[in-house]
Amino acid sequence: MNTPIVKLSDKDLESVYEPSEDSFLLIDALEADLEVLKAMKPVMCLEIGSGSGIVITALAMALKKHCQCYHLAIDINLDACRISKKTAAENLVDIDIAQMDLLNCIRTGNVFDVVVFNPPYVVTTDDEISNKQILFKAWAGGTNGRKVMERVFPKIPHILSNTGTFYLLVIEANDPEYILRVFTDLNMVGEIIAERKIRGEHLYILRFKKIK
Amino acid sequence: MKLLTHNMLTSKCLKGVTVGYPLGIVAKDIKVSEVDFNSEFIARIIPKLDWATLWKAAESIGHVGELPQTLIQDFETNEEFLKKVHHVLLEVEVINGDLLCPESGRKFPINDGIPNMLLNEDEV
Ligand SMILES: C[S@@+](CC[C@H](N)C(=O)[O-])C[C@H]1O[C@@H](n2cnc3c(N)ncnc32)[C@H](O)[C@@H]1O
């Protein structure tokens, strides 16, 4: 998978998450799954919290060679929405963007074939999530670092198509085993498909599918 | 914002709103561009759509053309029809305007093609 060109000015970096190890691990995991993804011929993909847009753009670039696909990116931060749009355009892929709090205004209907989420996962106090500085939203995850991501968990089965796949990045402190169990209760099956240790953080990629 | 995205959006999360779908569209600027046509892709995306919503959205912004109000039966094999659907789904974009909650009238502004679906704390 080619890495998209992402241009962020110093000004952009004040409010938009800079592609980091977590972004790259998620892209690597999608790349490792690319043959499976191509075989399922996804027609609708969604990224929650697209930030610079690097992940969904990488996915769109890889799928474009193989099939046509619609891509939607959501972020709560308008600057991130704008930069995601720009990143897509600079890499010649078509991605629609909506500014939204998680999946708040997405209708249920089991339409998305691929959903990816690299959430704010750092363990912080719950207050830090609503810090006025928008960049806090990129990483502040509250208690167990799960406060933001777990709001979308129960919605995933309602937006994912029956053959769809959900990719989630988490860290050790979020308790990946606990998250896998939460999804079991949602009638989905998950597994760890990639992990990487970086300075003081142990990153994991979880992949979920619906139980048939 | 493409009409395909509009098809996926609801204002149901607003306090007191029960369906919140489909959202109305008031388009100030519309851009029409050419996108490569792939009949298989369109045929596979149609079952995921709410057809009545797509039709109404296209109609309300003056781009419905000859799109039939009800989905035809053998759409997979009808190239002419799939091309019309392709056009409204992917080639027409609302750049500036508003989305409207059908129940409360709450406006969601669209600027530079990005709809702002954020709600205030007291609205949820
Ligand atoms: C860890 S960053 C990931 C950015 C990008 N996807 C990447 O991998 O580089 C998390 C992103 O989620 C967004 N975000 C945080 N809370 C959100 C919410 N409630 N709704 C939508 N997006 C949110 C942040 O603005 C940020 O862009």
Give the tokens for residue B25: 């569209």
**What is the pTM assigned to this prediction?**
0.98
Question: Quick check: A70 and B90 CB within 8 A?
Answer: yes
Q: Could you say which residues of chain B have pLDDT below 50?
A: none
User: CA separation (Å) from B62 to A108, B34, B49, B111?
Assistant: 27, 18, 20, 19
Mean pLDDT across chain A, nearest whole number? 97
The whole-number average pLDDT for the span A134-151 is 97
Give the tokens for residue A124: 């912080």
Q: What CATH number is given to the structural domain containing B78?
A: 2.20.25.10
How far apart are the C-alpha atoms of B105 and B11, rounded to whole Å? 10
CA of A56, closest atom in ligand 1: 6
* Residue B77 is assigned to a structural domain of this protein: yes
pLDDT tens, residue by residue, B14-31: 999 999 999 999 999 999
pLDDT tens, residue by residue, A32-41: 999 999 999 9
Q: What is the DSSP string of A56-104?
A: HHHHHHHHHTT---EEEEEES-HHHHHHHHHHHHHTT---EEEE-STTT
- Kindly list the residues from chain B whose CB atom is less than 8 angstroms away from the CB atom of residue A69: 41
Residues constituting chain A: 212
* Residue B98 is assigned to a structural domain of this protein: yes
Instruction: Out of A43, A68, A105, name the one closest to residue B10 (CB).
Output: A105
Crossing angle of helices A54-64 and A21-32, in 10° steps, is: 20
User: How many structural domains compose chain B?
Assistant: 1
The answer to whether residue A1 scores a pLDDT higher than 90 is no
Residues of chain A numbered 11-40 and touching chain B (CB < 8 Å): none
Question: Quick check: B114 and A82 CB within 8 A?
Answer: yes
User: CA separation (Å) from B27 to A67, B2, B30, B63, B99?
Assistant: 31, 12, 7, 11, 8
- Residue B69's domain comprises 3-116
The residue type at A202: H
Q: Positive or negative, the Cα torsion across A29, A113, A176, A140?
A: positive
Q: What angle do CA A56, A58, A59 make, to 5 degrees?
A: 65
* Residue B121 is assigned to a structural domain of this protein: no
* Residue B105 is assigned to a structural domain of this protein: yes
Structural domains for chain A: 22-210 (3.40.50.150)
The whole-number average pLDDT for the span A111-139 is 96
- Kindly list the residues from chain B whose CB atom is less than 8 angstroms away from the CB atom of residue A161: 48
pLDDT tens, residue by residue, A51-91: 999 999 999 999 999 999 999 999 999 999 999 999 999 99
- The residue whose CA is least distant from atom 14 of ligand 1 is A49
Beta carbons within 8 Å of A51's beta carbon, 6+ residues apart: A16, A17, A19, A23, A75, A80, A83, A84, A118, A138
* Residue B59 is assigned to a structural domain of this protein: yes
Question: Quick check: B119 and A104 CB within 8 A?
Answer: yes
How far apart are the C-alpha atoms of B25 and A119, rounded to whole Å? 31
Crossing angle of helices A78-90 and A54-64, in 10° steps, is: 30
The whole-number average pLDDT for the span A99-123 is 97
What pLDDT shows up at residue A187? Answer: 97
* Residue B124 is assigned to a structural domain of this protein: no
In the structure, which protein residues have their CB atom closer than 6 angstroms to any atom of ligand 1? A 17, 19, 22-23, 26, 49-52, 54-55, 74-77, 80, 101-102, 118-120, 137-139, 148
For residue B4, give the H/E element and its range. helix B3-8
How far apart are the C-alpha atoms of A205 and A191, rounded to whole Å? 8
* Residue B7 is assigned to a structural domain of this protein: yes
* Residue B36 is assigned to a structural domain of this protein: yes
Instruction: Out of B45, B48, B117, name the one closest to residue A100 (CB).
Output: B117
Q: In 3-state terms, what secondary structure has residue B50?
A: coil
Interface test with B, best of A47, A67, A71, A107 (most B CBs within 10 A): A107
What pLDDT shows up at residue A77? Answer: 98
**Percentage of the residues of chain A whose pLDDT score is greater than 90:** 97
What pLDDT shows up at residue A212? Answer: 84
Please give the ipTM for the structure prediction: 0.97
What pLDDT shows up at residue B63? Answer: 96
